[in-house]
Amino acid sequence: MRPFRYVRASDPDAAARAVAANPRAKFLAGGTNLLDLMKEDVERPDELVDLRRLKMTEIKPLRGGVSIGALATNTETANHPLIRQGYPLLTMAIVAGASAQLRNMATNGGNLLQRTRCPYFYDTAMPCNKREPGTGCGAREGLNRMHAIFGWSEKCVATYPGDMANALYALDATVRIRGAGGRERTIPIDEFHRLPGDTPEKDNNLQHGELITAIELPRSNFAKNSYYLKVRDRASYAFALVAVAAALELDGGTIRQARVVLGGVAHKPWRSREAEAALAGKPASEESFRRAAEAALEGAKPLAQNAFKVELGKRAVIRALMRAGRLV
Ligand SMILES: Cc1cc2nc3c(=O)[nH]c(=O)nc-3n(C[C@H](O)[C@H](O)[C@H](O)COP(=O)(O)OP(=O)(O)OC[C@H]3O[C@@H](n4cnc5c(N)ncnc54)[C@H](O)[C@@H]3O)c2cc1C
Ligand code: SF4
């Protein structure tokens, strides 16, 4: 591990100022991703600004919805009564991730910003445009079973590995951000992560030095009928091959509106507006869910080793919707 300076931030503005002032500084939250990457020599910050003493841990009602502190842990968030009752999809997604020990350390802000699990990204002997722009993509013609089937570019075919964000996309979350000088802004979650394009080194639309302070959820009509399904190689410590965050608002047996977000298939959580449109106004039935699954996977472009994700994705969408609609 390379030497670095350690600074403990006393308030959000001081934290944002410290990182903004040094292009090689990074925020440190739970450290469960960043420290691993530093030990692998993938991330090389020369200064860490520790956020853990900041009071951004509150989970509280906000305008009919809820505000979730960026430094609340994944465990605190998943177990909070406001989340369990109002947003069970978020609880299901969080507990599908990592392990109990990791969720006790991992924070919500850090979870949103976790980096890809592409093995070439972790191996500094291999080419990787995300780690070192211009070196090439090892996975494009290499081992790409875990990789993207939507939205990839010739520069990068990696997937976003997180679970929590898939639920946040389905729940129309907003990310609250504070920059140096106290400037605040919000980003709708749909615009938070990026597709790789020509700049795969950029995972998201945060500027250097911008601090996530909270994640805000609007009032939700999906609490009764939602489900998070994660399909993976083994039941724990494994990232999704395909995940589905499914949510339905029902009027009797008819779907008023739906959300279908796929994880493990793209560089960001992949919201399928095609599947959602196919479901709106239709009966909550297996037949409707089959049509939605076809629509969700319609434009998939698999790589050499991951064509199986197309059929797997369809079956996962149907199963998640069946569970959300309480038909199984
Ligand atoms: C073995 C293992 C298995 C895992 N399995 C899963 C899984 O199945 N599903 C899943 O979703 N995740 C999984 N994870 C990932 C885990 O959830 C993340 O590592 C964790 O959520 C990151 O949070 P953290 O607080 O530890 O972030 P850190 O590691 O501290 O930081 C991560 C990044 O976010 C930045 N950052 C942190 N907080 C802020 C903030 N408030 N504002 C701006 N920038 C910030 C840091 O600078 C850093 O770049 C796994 C991790 C491990 C080690
Ligand atoms: S898929 Fe992306 S992260 Fe993986 S090797 Fe290619 S450029 Fe790097």
0.95 surpassed by pTM: yes
Mutate to test the pocket of ligand 1, among 6, 34, 91, 121 (most ligand atoms within 8 A of CB): 34
Q: Is the Cβ–Cβ distance between 147 and 302 less than 8 Å?
A: no
1 band by pLDDT with thresholds 50, 70 and 90? confident
Per-residue pLDDT reduced to its tens digit, 39-74:
999 999 999 999 999 999 999 999 999 999 999 999
Alpha helices in 145-243 (DSSP H): 164-170
Q: Is the CB of 163 under 6 A from ligand 1?
A: yes
141 alpha carbon – ligand 2 mean position (Å): 11
Residues paired with residue 127 on neighbouring β-strands, in sequence order: none
Q: Which atom of ligand 2 is nearest to the CA of 142?
A: 5
Q: Is the CB of 27 under 6 A from ligand 1?
A: yes
Residue 137: nearest ligand to its CA? 2
Residues paired with residue 214 on neighbouring β-strands, in sequence order: 69, 176
- DSSP 8-state assignment for residue 204: B
Residue 34: nearest ligand to its CA? 1
121 alpha carbon – ligand 2 mean position (Å): 6
pLDDT at 236 over 90: no
Q: What is the pLDDT, as a whole number, of residue 139?
A: 98
Count of CA atoms in the C-beta half-sphere (13 A) of 27: 34
